[in-house]
Structure 1
Amino acid sequence: MTTSVTNQSVTNQDALQLVVAVHRLIRSLRQSASVRRLQPTQLLVLAELASQGPMRIGEIAVRALCSQPTATTVVTGLESNGLVRREADPADGRATIVELTVLGRDTILSLAHGEAELLSERLSRLTTEERESLRSVTPLLRRLADPAR
């Protein structure tokens, strides 16, 4: 049985509008921040390494939702900038793991804090009710961001 778009509680158009709004918000925060610039996939890889710890390229590719060759290219770029380093995997000497350097950790924290400060400033312009609505949406956005759910 198929459900028509008009009977769905959320239409594809609603979803598209949310995607566009989230992309615009993230882009405007990143363009306004006066911190080191990174490509979106580089930022995502640094954030994953910061939150999950060292991992193999294959796992990075899964978490960054990209191909393994793309993950390898991203890691190579981050490595050449001193943000990550490759080490032998203690569990398998033939493999390598990627881990953040001190500069990589400082960079991701600086980016996160800079964007958070800018967003906080923007949030202060909203009404109390609007801010409360956004607080309740944050856990839902986290769930939506996790492809395993």
Structure 2
Amino acid sequence: MPPRSQDIAEIVTAAHTLTRLAALETKNSAPATQWRALSVLDSNGPMRLGELARQSRATQPGMTRLVGQLADAGLVSREHDPSDSRATVIGITDGGRESLAAWRIELRDALAPLFADLSDEEWAVLSRAAGILKSHITPTGAAR
């Protein structure tokens, strides 16, 4: 029997596959990094660009470009860091939250047909697993 931690790796792999399938199904052309960055900001609050790049798994130059595009679209704000006037703090706007919520609904609706045949018992298992996973993740997105 594989170690229990293998189940976590399988869940992560399945989640990545589900995200790719949903993106293909919705034909959403926004880069995955956009949704990761908005999700990070929504979960963790405003942060410096370098930290946003790190948590979004992006390069700093790539995140600089993306933040410029997101700011132009009204999805994020850029403010001077009060503790260091040379630094910028990025935050999600109400428009960014609305866009993120709409994207999550698109994903949900795109994936729903894959799970239409689940029994009530299987849904209960998935619901419980989702709750367990969520309870073991800190606001910064890293394991406790």
TM-score range, shorter chain: 0.7 to 0.9
Give the number of the structure whose alpha-carbon radius of gyration is greater.
1
**Residue number in structure 2 paired with 1:3:** none
Show the 5 A alignment for 1:66-85: 66-85=58-77
Q: Deviations over 1:96-146 (max 9, x none)?
A: 111223332221111122223444555443111111111121134333794
Structure 2 length normalisation: TM-score? 0.74
| Native 8 Å contact 2:137 2:143 kept in 1 | no
1:92 aligns with 2:80: no
1:128 aligns with 2:116: no
Identity %: 32
2:142 corresponds to which of 135, 139, 147: 147
Q: Distance in 2 between matches of 1:46 and 1:11?
A: 28
Residue identity in the other structure for 1:139: G
Q: Matched residue of 2:47: which SS?
A: coil
Cα RMSD after superposing both structures: 2.9
Q: Distance in 2 between matches of 1:63 and 1:15?
A: 20
CA shift for structure 1 position 11? 7.9
**Residue number in structure 2 paired with 1:9:** 3
Higher relative contact order (CA 8 A, sep 6+): 2
How many matched pairs? 141
CA shift for structure 1 position 76? 2.4
Structure 1 length normalisation: TM-score? 0.72
